[in-house]
Amino acid sequence: MERPTLLINYKAYNNAYGKKSIEISKQIEHISQQYPDIEVILCVPAVSISDISKSVSIKVFAQHVDPVTSGAQTGHITAEMLAEAGAVGSLVNHSEMRIGFNDVAESVKQLSSFGLESVVCVDRNELVAPAAMLGATAILVEPPELIGSGISVSSARPEVVINSVAEIKKAGRGLLLVGAGITSLDDAKKSIELGADGVGLASAVMRARDPATKVKELLEGIRIGLT
């Protein structure tokens, strides 16, 4: 991953799988080509990884990986599976898919051993440095009370961004993304201005009447924030 980053989490919205997911991915790819300096990442459901990664050249991430290796692991998704299916990374410990303390360490390690990137999600800035020390490619900080609220972390709780940026610098490794309630050009711009390496969001794009236009707005916000 390189900064700046726009990470779009497809969640399990009804355009996150099937034909609609191919369409929306192609639209996002089209728009993102106008912003070659911003890394766009699509976090898609496990069932969609293979089809979407064949359809677009943007980075495709999984939304979750199990901290296990191949074998008798019915229903589990391994890092190796993700790599074979075309993913280049995965979210780890998303607020809707929390995992164990040791499992974060093991997931990051498993992903890394198959050449995959990891974005560890945390709910407080005290967890930024611990996650970075485990070798995560990036940390995504999301205050839980703002997720899906439409009130952005960058405007409502700028200190979370500022403190997390300080934490990641202390750790000396990893990128720092912020999320929760980010919906507008201004939210994205402010996040970058506060020092974040990128922003993460889901509903703002996935439930937008016109997802591609919304992506353009957010990319524009990041671009302005950088200057």
Write out the catalytic residue numbers.
Answer: 94, 142
What single-letter amino acid sits at 128?
A: V
State the Cα angle at 96 between 99 and 41, rounded to 5°: 95
Interface residue with its own copies among 33, 37, 124, 213 (CB under 8 A) is 124
Span from 16-24, 28-36, 158-166, 218-226 in contact with its own copies (CB under 8 A): 16-24
- Asked whether position 134 contacts its own copies by CB under 8 A, the answer is yes
Q: In 3D, which of 110, 156, 117 has the Cα closest to residue 136?
A: 117
20: its two tokens: 């609609």
Q: In 3D, which of 156, 162, 161, 170 has the Cα closest to residue 200?
A: 161
Using CB under 8 A as the binding rule, the residues of this chain from 140 to 179 that contact its own copies are 148
Cα separation of 170 and 138, whole Å? Answer: 14
- Asked whether position 63 contacts its own copies by CB under 8 A, the answer is yes
Collapsed DSSP state (helix, strand, coil) of residue 89: strand
Interface residue with its own copies among 5, 78, 154, 164 (CB under 8 A) is 78
- Asked whether position 72 contacts its own copies by CB under 8 A, the answer is yes
By CB under 8 A, name the binding residues for its own copies: 9, 11-14, 16-19, 43, 45-51, 63-64, 68, 70-78, 80-82, 84-85, 91, 93-105, 120, 122-124, 126-127, 129-131, 133-134, 148, 202-203
